[in-house]
Structure 1
Amino acid sequence: MSDVLLQVSDLSVSYRQGLGWRRVVEGVSFDVRRGEVLGLVGESGCGKSTVALQLLGFRHGSLRTDAGRIRLGSTDVLGLNRAGLDALRGAEVSFVPQNPTTALNPGMRVGVQIEEILTAHGRSTGGRTRELFGLVGLPSNDTFLRRYPHQLSGGQQQRVCIAMALACEPRFVVLDEPTTGLDVTTQEQIVDLLVDLRGRLGMSMLYVTHDLGLLSQIADRIGVMYAGHMVEIAPTVELFSKPRHPYTRGLIGALPRIDGDGRNVKPLRGLLHRDSLPKGCPFAQRCDFALPRCFEEVQALSPAGPAHEVACWRIGELPVDTNPVASGLPPAAQKREAEPLLAVEGLSVRYGSGKRSFEALKDVYLSVNKRETVALVGESGSGKSTLARAIAGMLAPANGEIRLRGVALEGLVRDRKPEQRRLVQYIFQNPDASLNPRATIGRSLARPLAFYFPEQEAGKAEKVIAALAEVRLDAGYAARYPDQLSGGERQRVAIARALIAEPDLLLCDEVLSALDVSVQASILELLQRLKSELGVAMLFISHDLAVVRMLADRVCVLFRGEIMEIGTREAVFAPPFHPYTQSLLEAVPTPLKKPQSPRRAELPAAENNGGCAYAGRCAVEIAGLCRTTPPLWRETGTRLRIRCHHSIDELQRLATMPAHRGEGSP
């Protein structure tokens, strides 16, 4: 056991509920070796984040550790007092949170926040802050270090949090959904960074996530949790190729994949109801293989192969699933309307004023038809959320026009008619900031009803319960507060709040980023049904290209506020590609398949003199042309438009070349 850095033994944790306590983690045991990455997966509310926080000795007033032991090296973490925990956190074990918006101090400059960590542990600041920002792919100049968190994109905020966690080079890092809000290229950079740090520093990690594809790229072993229980632990390759527990099979079957047709997902049967868990296996109510014994007798982890443990009575009876791919969703509706529901024409948005202003969106043309889903993809800072916020009326356009049902909308939402406001609903990326922490879920859902349908007072409670059921939450959630829900559950409430207004257009800003794959699959089915049955259209912002391929009718690729490529889903995901689109696709993590090295430079795109926004990062840049001359729109004849100086034939040829890195062609 000398190579074991972290050891968790029989950990049980409860949260206060009313006058009593609810057990949320039950007898969880695992260890992490030096230099090893252990992944922890499971549906929202399974207890994985609770376990992760216990590794740092987290002691909330409404939480208690009922049993168990956590040892980091020779240190008994649960036995430390506050002074001991302060010395441990940051120096020996650090934490990367899921939500950087609430983790960073809004009143402190980001450079100062890094220095605060170093100073607290007696480390020299010197040039360490600049070094850390460079490591995580952020500018290290004085201008950037003096920015406040609100002046950074979501991806940049998360990278600051990662830099803070790495500041003192701890032996163990706990990462709770660290790349949830990041685009695929930034996500790949962060994963590469973590892999490099592990190899160079011998750092160990617990990586909590619902992104199974990403986890397969970094984790050595994976633990699967359900309803507070550990149901399977196995080496990564073994888990993906031969999942043994029925729940693990369901998770992998619900995983969207970018290969194939993108529709090979199937949500798990039923819902997790913690109030009615059986005495035996917690998954028995949803298991297709359950026996009467499974409902009554507790299953413990037992060997199912080398370094492979499974908690299932029937492990010796069930056939090994060596190809856990599930059936698909129905095809997306393709009906087109003569008059688009939404039309964006020549839209430009500027941030700031004077010399410090910059154009976040530049001359964007886009339409969304009834029953259509248009996906916006691109890196953090590409302008996706800015476009959605301008459509919602939260940002006033500098130029251009937005029309809904053929009628021009006022720039700001306060100047729009109530009916226009109802027809366009925004689902935010971060439900922590968008839900009122002092209002129950039922009250938050009832507010849109009172605002938009004041004459329908009767039946309000029934409509709230129906809205919760649409997003796979039971009626009991109406009495809860946001802090009593997991991140995924809060996001589902945010989706329900938008749907209850009966909109024509949903602006979905990374709405699936906090959801585990099984719940994600059910939400995707819901969105498809809303589109086909109710005619709801969506502008769907996402960095998950596998989800985009499954859900979108058309895809719009943005970079630095400009459209690089736009077309039908089938056309965008097949050659020819815009060089930027190809770099995004090559960075997508696929289970047990190493991402290709993207065709892009490591540095941000260089400033240009009116040329292509992607010049300077493009691996196939044409010297003397791309940085000085606006690129032309190319059409393939297959409902695809690409904005590039290369011809369609040349882009087709480049798509077949081996991926490489570089600053561009001479």
Structure 2
Amino acid sequence: MNTELSEVTGSEANPAPKPQDTPLLEIRGLKIEGFADEKWNPIIKGVDLTLHKGEVLGLIGESGAGKSTLGLAAMGFARAGVRFAGGSVTFDGMDLLKMPERKRRKLWGTRMTYVAQSAAASFNPAHRLIEQTVAAAVREGLKSESEAIADAKDLYAQLQLPDPEHIGSRYPHQVSGGQLQRVMTAMAMSPRPDLIVFDEPTTALDVTTQVEVLMSMRKIVEEFDTAAIYITHDLAVVAQMADRIKVLRYGEEVEEAETREMLAHPKQDYTKSLWSVRSLRKEADPSEDVVLRAEGIDAAYGNKVQVLHDVSIDLPRGRTVAIVGESGSGKSTMAKVITGLLPPVRGEISFEGETLPPKLKDRSKEQLRRIQMIYQMADTAMNPRQTVGEIIGRPLTFYHGLKGKALEKRVVELLEQIELDEGFYDRLPGELSGGQKQRICIARALAADPDVILCDEVTSALDQIVQEGILKLLMRLQKEKGIAYLFITHDIATVEAIADEIVVMYQGRVVEQGLKDRILSPPHPDYTELLLSSVPEMDPDWLTHLMEERGPHPS
């Protein structure tokens, strides 16, 4: 077991990188193009990047800015439909773009690793988690199988996975999205690489788990002198992780500076706009009637593992109720019960006073139309072989009978509502950024013209500016059409912006619920206090101080 990782360092947050004669990674004049609309279009437009061992570079910018493309390019990799059009990528003195692919592949998964934004789309469903975690280290002879397995279990513990000794025996579908994201992080850390590219690695995590994972990542980087590129839209997170921040927009660099300087004195107007704080929601009216009610819900998977215990939630018409809690608390399971995807063991769901059939297949088309759901994992929620037009168009045809020109017109209108143009109509999901995929899922739900939308972490993959646009869109639709939202999220800033009421869940039970202002005002129950105290602040020293306060956590 790796006991080194369980030591909490007392070093200053975001220390300056050690002086190096030669950078570990050097990118110069990089140009990357993507094929769309029968032509090659620029994605990255002559970007430079330098990274030394032991240094973390934060890469931020709105959805579609080219962050993930640049992160993959740092490993000499380009997705299908994307090509390098100029410039160089030099890793440890080796020109990756001139190197034969077989040699680059020897580096991938060992000296260079990648933590993807969507873990669910990145694991092989036929293999156990532990097998996939240790595969690269064992294959390349970096460790024996027994050594790699012992180290993987230690990493699982460091990343706060439940039952770290045995969770590796599960298959990907048997763990939550947040747990799967942490397993992928352990997989990337296993070979002790020289470079790790983190692409939104804490997007799917609740705030309490996120803090533990960030602590573990910081210790890995510091203790093993690992270089990292940290891609995120969460400015408070990048403030804890990065030595320097590079801002991208439309495939070009906006500005770059040391983290403290960037946070204190951003130079460009675009960067300043990222720092703005949103506030969208006015005080709730508690007299609103209830459109959806869950009463006394018990739920289990396979009648063996009980997940929900006597959960009751009221959703007022035209209002937003936010469900918050850590990964595994039962938030997404509750949404599945409401939609009929998981019939409850006990209790009932009623819509406008009428009890809904517990199973999805027994509900009428009208009942299905009026309650829609937007899923957390946009990658796995869309058919990769269907175009955007087909994905959004299907509910328009199914629920409203639209065809031909009328169908095309409505799809374009929905695209415009989510701030995408008609040029996306014929694109496939693989041609979209993570944020764009999530917006398509939102448009698909809106296409049904529902009364209730269950939003399962719908803005977690979006940058701050696009988040604000989507939230404003949802609020406008709510005001115009009276839509009610059940908003599942771990983002307290989102809760503060849009929620009327808050339900706090822990281990399948409701800890407390009520109007937003009451829940967010002290005094708090212990668990609610833990949630609120785990929200990262725009202070580079915040994580270090928290690590010192909480002390070492068990491995």
TM-score by length of 2: 0.92
State how 1:554-633 maps to structure 2 within 5 Å: 554-592=501-539, 594-595=541-542
Give the C-alpha shift of residue 333 in structure 1: 5.0
Gaps of 5+ in 1: 254-263, 266-327, 603-657
| Cα distance change of structure 1 residues 405 and 571 upon mapping to structure 2, 3 Å threshold | same
Give the C-alpha shift of residue 33 in structure 1: 1.9
1:156 and 2:179 aligned = yes
1:586-638 alpha-carbon deviations (Å, 9 max, x no partner): 11012126447999xx9xxxxxxxxxxxxxxxxxxxxxxxxxxxxxxxxxxxx
Give 1:553's match in structure 2, choosing from 471, 483, 500. Answer: 500
State how 1:302-321 maps to structure 2 within 5 Å: none
Give the C-alpha shift of residue 56 in structure 1: 1.6
1:214 and 2:237 aligned = yes
Which protein has the larger Cα radius of gyration, Structure 1 or Structure 2?
Answer: 1
Give 1:420's match in structure 2, choosing from 356, 361, 367. Answer: 367
| Cα distance change of structure 1 residues 331 and 59 upon mapping to structure 2, 3 Å threshold | same
Give the C-alpha shift of residue 454 in structure 1: 1.8
Give the C-alpha shift of residue 136 in structure 1: 1.9
- Partner-residue secondary structure (3-state), 1:497: helix
- Looking at structure 1, the residues matched to 469 and 283 of structure 2 have their Cα atoms a distance apart, in angstroms, of 15
- Looking at structure 2, the residues matched to 520 and 101 of structure 1 have their Cα atoms a distance apart, in angstroms, of 22
- Looking at structure 2, the residues matched to 33 and 341 of structure 1 have their Cα atoms a distance apart, in angstroms, of 56
Aligned to 2:36: 17
- Looking at structure 2, the residues matched to 201 and 597 of structure 1 have their Cα atoms a distance apart, in angstroms, of 18
1:196 and 2:219 aligned = yes
Contact 2:281 2:497 in 1 (8 A): no
Aligned to 2:381: 434
Give the C-alpha shift of residue 661 in structure 1: 6.7
Give 2:129's match in structure 1, choosing from 81, 103, 110. Answer: 110
Give 1:384's match in structure 2, choosing from 331, 341, 345. Answer: 331
1:100 and 2:119 aligned = yes
Aligned to 1:454: 401
| Cα distance change of structure 1 residues 493 and 172 upon mapping to structure 2, 3 Å threshold | same
Q: Which moved more, 1:72-81 or 1:567-576?
A: 72-81
Taking every aligned residue pair, what percent have the same amino acid on both sides? 38
Q: Which amino acid aligns with 2:187?
A: M
Give 2:145's match in structure 1, choosing from 125, 128, 137. Answer: 125
State how 1:278-297 maps to structure 2 within 5 Å: none
- Partner-residue secondary structure (3-state), 2:347: strand
Aligned to 1:336: 287
Q: Which amino acid aligns with 1:124?
A: S
Q: Displaced runs of 4+ in structure 1, greater than 4 A? A: 139-142, 455-458, 593-599, 658-663
Aligned to 2:271: 248
Give the C-alpha shift of residue 216 in structure 1: 0.7
| Cα distance change of structure 1 residues 170 and 82 upon mapping to structure 2, 3 Å threshold | same
Q: Which amino acid aligns with 2:445?
A: A
| Cα distance change of structure 1 residues 505 and 129 upon mapping to structure 2, 3 Å threshold | same
Contact 1:588 1:595 in 2 (8 A): no
Q: How many corresponding residue pairs?
A: 530
Give the C-alpha shift of residue 404 in structure 1: 0.3
- Partner-residue secondary structure (3-state), 2:270: helix
CA RMSD of aligned residues (A): 2.0
| Cα distance change of structure 1 residues 55 and 7 upon mapping to structure 2, 3 Å threshold | same
Give the C-alpha shift of residue 245 in structure 1: 0.9
Contact 1:584 1:598 in 2 (8 A): no
- Partner-residue secondary structure (3-state), 2:299: strand
Aligned to 1:269: none
| Cα distance change of structure 1 residues 137 and 442 upon mapping to structure 2, 3 Å threshold | same
1:71 and 2:90 aligned = yes
Gaps of 5+ in 2: 1-19
- Looking at structure 2, the residues matched to 562 and 358 of structure 1 have their Cα atoms a distance apart, in angstroms, of 14
Q: Relative contact order: is structure 1 or structure 2 higher (C-alpha 8 Å, sep ≥ 6)? A: 2
Q: Which amino acid aligns with 2:186?
A: A
Q: Which amino acid aligns with 1:98?
A: Q
Contact 1:586 1:595 in 2 (8 A): no
- Partner-residue secondary structure (3-state), 1:78: coil
1:463-499 alpha-carbon deviations (Å, 9 max, x no partner): 1111111111112111211111111001001001101
Contact 2:215 2:543 in 1 (8 A): no
Contact 1:583 1:598 in 2 (8 A): no
- Looking at structure 1, the residues matched to 265 and 78 of structure 2 have their Cα atoms a distance apart, in angstroms, of 37
- Looking at structure 1, the residues matched to 469 and 448 of structure 2 have their Cα atoms a distance apart, in angstroms, of 21
Aligned to 1:318: none
Give the C-alpha shift of residue 459 in structure 1: 2.2
1:504 and 2:504 aligned = no
State how 1:26-105 maps to structure 2 within 5 Å: 26-105=45-124
- Looking at structure 2, the residues matched to 555 and 487 of structure 1 have their Cα atoms a distance apart, in angstroms, of 27
